[in-house]
Amino acid sequence: MTNTLPRPFIPVTQLLTAVMQIAAEHHRAGRAAAAKTMYQEVLALDPRHADALFLLGVLERQAGRLEEARRLLREGARWAADRTPMEAELRLVEQLLARRDRKPARAWRETGAYYPDCSALMTTARA
């Protein structure tokens, strides 16, 4: 008989809650890589974990990966009990995507005038 201690049983929900708390602390402290890894580990155990999907979506938005953020937030909203924060974050991501895809005013000026030069029409109209 070996002299080993039995392993304590920890319910998965308690484990996921503890990992999420630590991951959120990393996220708040600016340690994005550690937080991302922990969120992904939670999702490996529970792919429908709404909080992990939400916070990973926020992390992706903060990193500028807007398409991935949108995908994660949409998936998280499917499984969340309270969808309000996810929908608000999703609206923000959609606005950022729309703003990024819009052609800036500087680009319009660089391509030339939208309307053709009307000065020739002005001189003929006066004549």
Domain assignments of the chain as residue spans, ordered by start: 12-103
With H, G, I as helix, E, B as strand and everything else as coil, classify residue 87: helix
Given CATH 3.40.630.10, say whether it is the number of domain 12-103: no
- Considering only CA atoms, which of 8, 17, 24 is closest in space to residue 59? 24
Distance separating alpha carbons of residues 110 and 71, to the nearest angstrom: 34
Distance separating alpha carbons of residues 37 and 120, to the nearest angstrom: 64
Task: Tell me the pLDDT band of 55, cut-offs 50, 70 and 90.
Answer: very high
Q: What is the pLDDT of residues 60-113, one digit of tens each?
A: 999 999 999 999 999 999 999 888 999 999 999 999 999 988 866 665 555 554
The whole-number pLDDT of residue 18 equals 95
The whole-number pLDDT of residue 78 equals 93
Give the side-chain half-sphere CA count within 13 A for 117. 4
Mean of pLDDT over the chain: 84
Distance separating alpha carbons of residues 35 and 58, to the nearest angstrom: 11
What are the strands, taking DSSP E only, across 12-117?
Answer: none
With H, G, I as helix, E, B as strand and everything else as coil, classify residue 98: helix
